[in-house]
DNA sequence: AGTTGACTTCGAGTCTACTCCAGATGATAT
DNA sequence: ATATCATCTGGAGTAGACTCGAAGTCAACT
């Protein structure tokens, strides 16, 4: 798959895909002899992982850090587990906050329908 | 309440509180004769509203727009309702996305505990 | 009276995450 | 063969949300 198709499939712009690669977030994107990226399944999975982590609120720097740890191998196992656990906790908090905001929005909307605002 | 106490209570820095006011997000913060802010209950509620809207993913500009509409009175009723409804929908989507990310994180964490990674 | 500490304004600087542009190269269609 | 199109690199620019520093003011304590 070339960059345009990946872009459409994953919802990132082509610039963003190249930007992530430049930051070192995506390694091992195969390139043709003339330098054109040819994304394989591994690269796609890798990008999906980045999108997922980004959705949880990690910065690109933090994601890079995680990937670097991963590449350092077994010795960073515990540190990576800690990151995942912390992020899990953070996601739970975010969901709680969003549920509260949702309730508040629905309360407001109900009031709007009662012409009270 | 002076700015330092508000800052601690709401979790925004003093700079951020002044910044929001400068953007026109918080109006009517009473000031003492010498120009010191003295936040009252109305101002606090107002800031809590801003934090809540920000948590749903609205930009400060969008929040400002909503507040401006509000200040224009009854004639913007429908437009404001539309904004709230759209944001409600967006929050629901965010919760869905976060739940998916949570599942993925838990799957990863489980694998880590099985020594598979 | 002087010092301390919290407040003020204003403008500039920072960080994150893109986003865009220029100029070059290469593959494909007519 | 030439035109079109997508891709490439490198670097600059942008948007959003702060964050900081300088210089000044004011209230309260010693």
Convert the pLDDT of each residue in A86-97 to its tens digit.
999 999 999 999
Higher pLDDT, A104 or B117: A104
Number of CB atoms found within 10 A of residue A6's CB? 20
Q: How far is CA B105 from CA A76, A77, B64, B66, in A?
A: 17, 15, 36, 36
Residue A116 has pLDDT above 70, yes or no: no
Is any Cβ of chain A less than 8 angstroms from the Cβ of B111? no
CB contact (8 A) between residue B55 and residue A98? yes
User: What is the structure's pLDDT at B116?
Assistant: 67
Is any Cβ of chain B less than 8 angstroms from the Cβ of A52? yes
A65 CA: distance to closest CA in chain B (Å) = 17
User: What is the structure's pLDDT at A21?
Assistant: 98
Q: Which residues of chain B have pLDDT under 70?
A: 116-117
Residue A115 has pLDDT above 80, yes or no: no
Rounded Cα–Cα distance for residues A60 and A53 (Å): 9
CB contact (8 A) between residue A105 and residue B91? yes
User: What is the structure's pLDDT at A117?
Assistant: 63
User: What is the structure's pLDDT at B114?
Assistant: 85
Rounded Cα–Cα distance for residues B114 and A38 (Å): 34
Is any Cβ of chain B less than 8 angstroms from the Cβ of A84? yes
What is the per-residue pLDDT across A1-40, written as a single tens digit (0 to 9) for each? Answer: 999 999 999 999 999 999 999 999 998 899 999 999 999 9
Percent with pLDDT over 70 in chain A: 98
Rounded Cα–Cα distance for residues B56 and B79 (Å): 18
Is any Cβ of chain B less than 8 angstroms from the Cβ of A77? yes
By CA distance, what is B95's nearest residue in A?
A95
User: What is the structure's pLDDT at B117?
Assistant: 63
By CA distance, what is A77's nearest residue in B?
B117
Chains A, B: CB pairs < 8 Å: 72
Q: Is the CB of A60 under 7 A from strand C?
A: yes
Question: Which chain A residues contact residue B99 at CB under 8 A?
Answer: 95
């Amino acid at each position: 798959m070339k960059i345009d198709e990946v872009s459409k499939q994953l919802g990132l712009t082509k610039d963003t895909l190249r930007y992530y690669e430049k930051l070192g977030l995506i390694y091992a994107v195969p390139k043709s002899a003339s330098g054109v990226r040819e994304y394989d399944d591994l690269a796609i999975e890798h990008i999906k992982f980045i999108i997922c982590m980004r959705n949880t609120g990690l910065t690109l720097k933090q994601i890079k850090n995680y990937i670097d740890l991963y590449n350092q191998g077994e010795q960073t196992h515990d540190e990576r587990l800690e990151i995942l656990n912390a992020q899990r906790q953070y996601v739970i908090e975010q969901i709680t906050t969003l549920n509260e905001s949702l309730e508040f929005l629905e309360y407001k909307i109900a009031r709007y329908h009662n012409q009270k605002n």
